[in-house]
Amino acid sequence: MTRVAFFDLDGTLTDPKPGICGSAQFALREMGLPVPPQEELEWLIGPPMIESMRKLAGERAEEGLRLYRQRYGETGLFENRVYDGIPELLQQLRDGDWRLMVATSKAEPYAIRIVEHFGLGGFFDRVYGAGLDGSLMHKDELLSFALEDSRVAPARAAMIGDRKFDVLGAGANGLRTIGVLWGYGGRAELEEAGAASIVSSPREVEGALCALIA
């Protein structure tokens, strides 16, 4: 039977910190609000941006999201880099007959552009992301939709991600998660959320996947 690996995007396939944090700084600056340094905005990487904007801008969250997207959609999404070892991992999995998909809380149009821009599109059967209207922005809803849409049995699939949102969203759908330490969550966060396995480099992912799904 086919085995399927769902990959988170930000903090798992690519390091998006300059683009995400820089676009958030732009939005705050345009609104005349305090602008923290990027190191203090790393928590933005992972959760839906509208929820993060509510913490940063309060009642002006919708305005903040609009300004964030203004910059992110033009330049921010390309202020990004693919983590070392990711293309090799994806090729290895495809050679092993794994079906690969992206499952990200990022707006789907942005996610598709990033995956294609960095030459990863050929590895993935489908990129699943949130709607620009906020639909499917939570990982549990997104993965529920992705599993049904792709007709994948949870027992034959796993999630790979760097944040608790990946682990909890996958668990709500009967999926196990491999937590990765090169992103922005950290071991304690992933363990507390219930990751089935935690790896420190892309070289370890295939073995961890095969241990979960024979």
Burial class (CB in 10 A: 0-12, 13-18, 19+), 58: exposed
Is the same domain home to 41 and 26?
yes
State residue 193's pLDDT score. Answer: 98
Which of 29, 56, 78 finishes a domain? 78
* Range 191-200 average pLDDT: 98
Q: pLDDT tens digit string along 110-142?
A: 999 999 999 999 999 999 999 999 999 999 999
CATH number at residue 104: 3.40.50.1000
8 is catalytic: yes
Is the same domain home to 198 and 144?
yes
Is the same domain home to 158 and 194?
yes
Catalytic residue selected from 8, 10, 15, 166: 8
Is the same domain home to 42 and 137?
no
Spatial separation of the C-alpha atoms in residues 135 and 34, rounded to whole Å? 29
Is the same domain home to 66 and 159?
no
Spatial separation of the C-alpha atoms in residues 176 and 194, rounded to whole Å? 9
Is the same domain home to 68 and 8?
no
State residue 48's pLDDT score. Answer: 93
Count of structural domains, the chain? 2
Helical H segments across 49-157, by residue range? 49-57, 61-72, 86-95, 108-117, 139-150
State residue 1's pLDDT score. Answer: 75
Predicted confidence band of residue 7 (pLDDT cuts 50, 70, 90)? very high
Return the closest-CA partner of residue 113 out of 66, 80, 161. 80
Distances (CA, A) of 59 to 53, 55, 127, 153: 9, 9, 32, 41
**214 pLDDT above the threshold of 90:** no
Partnered with residue 103 across adjacent β-strands are: 128
Is the same domain home to 188 and 199?
yes
Is the same domain home to 38 and 103?
no
CATH number at residue 49: 1.10.150.240
H or E element at residue 102: strand 98-107
Q: pLDDT tens digit string along 144-179?
A: 999 999 999 999 999 999 999 999 999 999 999 999
State residue 151's pLDDT score. Answer: 95
Domain range holding 72? 17-78
Distances (CA, A) of 112 to 124, 155, 181: 10, 27, 24
Contact by Cβ (8 Å): 205, 89: yes
Is the same domain home to 96 and 106?
yes
Q: pLDDT tens digit string along 66-79?
A: 999 999 999 999 99
Is the same domain home to 85 and 183?
yes
* Range 50-59 average pLDDT: 96
Is the same domain home to 34 and 114?
no
